[in-house]
């Protein structure tokens, strides 16, 4: 396989989707795992936020105090799933970017 640019891989993982850079580099197992983790994190976060948001009662136009109260209520309603999904998403993003830039030994297994 031709030598691939790790900076391009890091940009792909940072801007497109975590794991795409690893696929570009030929690290299929890690790339697929990061894509699956990112997809799960997005689904968990979206479902938790949508469920919590459906319980909010805001009237338009809303004031800053109403928005703060709604944010607190959203955090209470969604709680752990929202934090967990967000944490998993950030972790996948960081791993994707750092791994793409991390030098690999030539003689070792690329995955």
Buried b or exposed e, range 18-35, using 16+ CB within 10 angstroms: bbbbbbbbebeebbebbb
The string of pLDDT tens digits covering residues 51-105 is 877 776 666 677 888 888 877 877 777 788 888 888 999 999 999 999 999 987 6
Report CA-CA distances (Å) from 59 to 56, 62, 75, 77. Answer: 10, 6, 19, 19
**What pTM does this model have?**
0.74
Which residue stretches of the chain are H helix? 6-15, 20-25, 28-53, 64-101
Contact between residue 3 and residue 97 where contact means Cβ atoms under 8 Å apart: no
Token pair of 39, please? 């997809």
């Amino acid at each position: 396989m031709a030598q691939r640019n790790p900076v391009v891989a890091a940009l792909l993982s940072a801007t497109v989707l975590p794991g795409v850079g690893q696929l570009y580099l030929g690290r299929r197992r890690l790339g697929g795992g990061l894509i699956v983790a990112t997809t799960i994190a997005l689904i968990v976060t979206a479902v938790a936020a949508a469920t919590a948001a459906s319980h909010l009662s805001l009237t338009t136009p809303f004031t800053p105090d109403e928005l703060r109260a709604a944010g607190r209520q959203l955090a209470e309603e969604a709680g752990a799933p929202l934090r967990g999904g967000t944490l998993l998403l950030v972790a996948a993003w960081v791993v994707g970017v750092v791994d793409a830039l991390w030098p690999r030994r030539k003689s070792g297994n690329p995955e």
